Every structure is written in structure tokens, then in C-alpha cells.
């Protein structure tokens, strides 16, 4: 009974943003997006793991995901959270877990992203990223809400970093971050300009149509390899139009049982009760 209720809530509430609870769900969703010319970026849900069981299970799940993507010939990247691979437990284990996943992904020609989490983990995440940067096939998320991000881009872009620029789903203290939507967006615009002028290949992770329109104009001048990436369940019909008009588009697809923290961040961004009610009534699918 309790698990039926749990399944109902999971499907109705989180179904809008999440592929489902299993690797197979993420593969099936990816096939659907691929059939529309859109690639996916698959993330296994979960964060802030501190016990070995959870960390090892996350590593095994990513390795299984790599096998499934490869066997099913899916056009998908994967995206890892450092705190699910051991950042809060043991930095050496984190490095070896990341390296193990990247090594297997490289064999299968699958691109590996590092998600960016709270401000306190940025240094460790960048360090981790740099440890595998030479071998290629890896990217890192950078958040425009953080004041340090401009310097981070200046530091890693000349080393060949492939950046996924987002506004940021976390909050931080005033001295570290921009705290109004306008300031975060203005910094996004500035950092996006840096990527266009200095980066050959990057991903813009945003649903902000003004930013995307600016990027489309900028790319007429620069001709960069740009991917426009959005989250599953947020304006995916717009992404389809963007893809149909010849742009590279990716949808970030989380899967797994630990959907609460992720869904909470999406609801906070949506910012109104109507969306919550709509989520409970139906899951938004790309038609
Ligand atoms: C591909 C991808 C990867 C990401 N990876 C990370 C990461 O690693 N680390 C991280 O901190 N953050 C990540 N994010 C989340 C990101 O930081 C933002 O929190 C999120 O994208 C909302 O910001 P926005 O750029 O869409 O702009 P906003 O200014 O927040 O929104 C612009 C418009 O988009 C729509 N919109 C935005 N969010 C919602 C929502 N939840 N529901 C309904 N409509 C909405 C609204 O119409 C809004 O007016 C990622 C986002 C994407 C798209």
C-alpha cells in the first residue's frame, strides 16, 4: 500500500522532470528524444553520499548506463555529481571513481559531464575535472550565479575545457554570488560572450529564451560548436523547434529513485503553485 502511494506520487509529481527509476527508463526516454533529432544528457539521481554502499552503487550504475547507451546505440552524454562519487567522503576515492567511469565512457565514445553543485565544492570539482582533461571527452558545468565563475572560465578554457554554462540551481552568500535574477542573467550573458569569443565548443544550459536568441545571433558571427541544453519537462516543445531549425539540442534526463531534492529545485525555479498542480495532474511529454 505504502509503496503504491509512493509510486503514484513519484509518477505524478516527479514524472514531469524524471525519466523513471531505472537505467532502462532513461534509455527508453533517450530513444524517444533521439528519434526527434535531440541528444540526451543522462544523470543518475542522488547527491551528498557519505557511505560506501551508496557511492559504489552510483559508480556501478554509471558503468551499467554506459553499457546500455553503447549497446542500444543511443546518442547520449552522461553527467555525474561529484558528491555522489565520494567528494564528501574521500577525495582519493572520488578521483578513482571518476577516472574509472571516464575510462569506460571513453572506450564507448560517450561524453562525460561533471555537474556543478554547491559553491563550497567548486574547487574540488574543477580539480577533479582537470585530472582527466588531457584525455578529452569530458566537460564541466559552470554557474553564472557565482562571482568566481569568470575567473574559473579564464583558468580552464585555455586548457581546452568544454563548458556547460548554467545560471545555477543553488544559493550562496552575498560575497560569493549574485543574488538577483537580473544580476545572474547579466553575468550569464557576459560569460556566454566569453565562451563565444574564446571557446570552440560549449553547451548553453538554459530555458531563458532571451539568452538563447542572443546566442543564435552571436553564433552567426562566431560559428562555434554550440549545443542548447534544457531540462526534461521544461519547455521541451521549444527545444524541438530549436532542433528542427538546425541547432544542436540536448535534454538533461535524470533517472533514479532519489527524485525529491532534484524536483524541489525545479519547483523552486518554477515559482508558482499552478505548476505544482499541473505536475500532479499530468506529466509533460514531448509530443
Ligand atoms: C542542461 C542543464 C544542465 C544543468 N546542470 C546544472 C548543474 O550542473 N548545476 C546547477 O547548479 N544547475 C544546473 N542546471 C540548472 C540551472 O542552473 C538553472 O537552475 C535552471 O536551468 C533554470 O535557469 P534558466 O537558465 O532556465 O533561467 P531562469 O531565468 O531561471 O528561467 C528562464 C525561464 O525558463 C522557464 N523555467 C525555468 N525553470 C523552470 C522550471 N523549473 N519550471 C518551469 N519553467 C521554468 C521559465 O519560463 C523562466 O522564465 C542545469 C540546467 C540545464 C538546462
Please state at what angle helix 149-156 crosses helix 122-132, rounded to 10 degrees. 10
3-state secondary structure of 263: helix
Q: Report the separation in Å between the CA atom of 231 and the middle of ligand 1, taken as the mean of its atom positions.
A: 7
pLDDT in tens, the chain (287 residues): 556 666 666 666 667 888 988 999 999 999 999 999 999 999 999 999 999 999 999 999 999 999 999 999 999 999 999 999 999 999 999 999 999 999 999 999 999 999 999 999 999 999 999 999 998 899 999 999 999 999 999 999 999 999 999 999 998 888 999 989 999 999 999 999 999 999 999 999 999 999 999 999 999 999 999 999 999 988 888 999 999 999 999 999 999 988 777 777 777 776 655 555 554 554 444 43
The model carries a pTM of 0.92
Q: Report the separation in Å between the CA atom of 184 and the middle of ligand 1, taken as the mean of its atom positions.
A: 12
The domains located in the chain, with CATH, are 2-281 (3.20.20.220)
Residues with CB under 6 A from ligand 1: 41, 115-116, 141, 143, 166-170, 181, 205-208, 229-231, 234, 252, 266, 269-270, 275
Number of neighbours of residue 2 by Cβ within 10 angstroms: 6
From 46, 164, 180, 205, give the residue whose CB has the most ligand 1 atoms within 8 Å, as the site to mutate: 205
b/e for 140-170, b at 16 or more Cβ within 10 A? Answer: bbbbbbbbbbeebbeebbeeebbbbbbbbbe
| Strands, E assignment, 63-111 | 76-80
Amino acid at each position: 500500500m505504502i509503496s503504491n502511494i509512493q509510486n503514484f506520487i513519484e509518477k505524478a509529481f516527479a514524472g514531469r522532470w524524471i525519466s523513471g527509476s531505472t537505467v532502462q527508463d532513461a534509455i527508453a526516454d533517450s530513444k524517444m528524444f533521439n528519434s526527434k533529432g535531440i541528444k540526451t544528457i543522462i544523470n543518475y539521481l542522488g547527491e551528498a553520499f557519505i557511505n560506501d554502499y551508496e557511492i559504489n552503487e552510483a559508480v556501478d550504475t554509471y558503468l551499467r548506463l554506459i553499457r546500455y547507451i553503447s549497446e542500444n546505440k543511443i546518442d547520449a552524454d552522461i553527467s555525474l555529481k561529484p558528491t555522489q562519487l565520494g567528494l564528501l567522503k574521500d577525495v582519493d576515492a572520488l578521483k578513482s571513481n571518476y577516472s574509472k567511469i571516464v575510462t569506460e565512457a571513453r572506450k564507448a565514445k560517450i561524453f562525460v559531464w561533471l555537474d556543478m553543485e554547491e559553491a563550497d565544492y567548486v574547487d574540488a570539482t574543477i580539480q577533479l575535472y582537470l585530472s582527466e582533461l588531457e584525455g578529452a571527452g569530458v566537460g564541466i558545468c559552470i554557474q553564472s550565479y557565482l562571482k568566481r565563475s569568470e575567473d574559473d572560465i579564464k583558468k580552464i578554457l585555455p586548457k581546452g575545457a568544454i563548458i556547460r554554462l548554467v545560471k545555477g540551481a543553488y544559493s550562496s552568500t552575498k560575497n560569493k554570488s549574485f543574488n538577483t535574477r537580473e544580476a545572474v542573467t547579466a553575468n550569464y550573458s557576459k560569460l556566454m560572450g566569453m565562451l563565444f569569443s574564446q571557446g570552440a565548443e560549449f553547451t548553453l544550459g538554459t530555458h531563458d529564451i532571451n539568452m538563447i536568441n542572443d546566442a543564435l545571433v552571436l553564433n552567426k558571427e562566431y560559428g562555434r560548436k554550440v549545443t542548447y541544453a534544457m531540462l526534461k519537462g521544461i519547455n521541451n516543445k521549444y527545444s524541438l523547434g530549436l532542433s528542427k531549425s538546425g541547432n544542436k539540442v540536448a535534454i538533461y534526463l535524470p533517472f533514479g529513485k532519489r527524485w525529491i531534492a532534484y524536483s524541489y529545485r525545479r519547483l523552486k525555479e518554477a515559482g508558482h503553485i499552478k505548476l505544482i498542480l499541473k505536475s500532479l495532474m499530468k506529466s509533460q511529454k514531448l509530443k
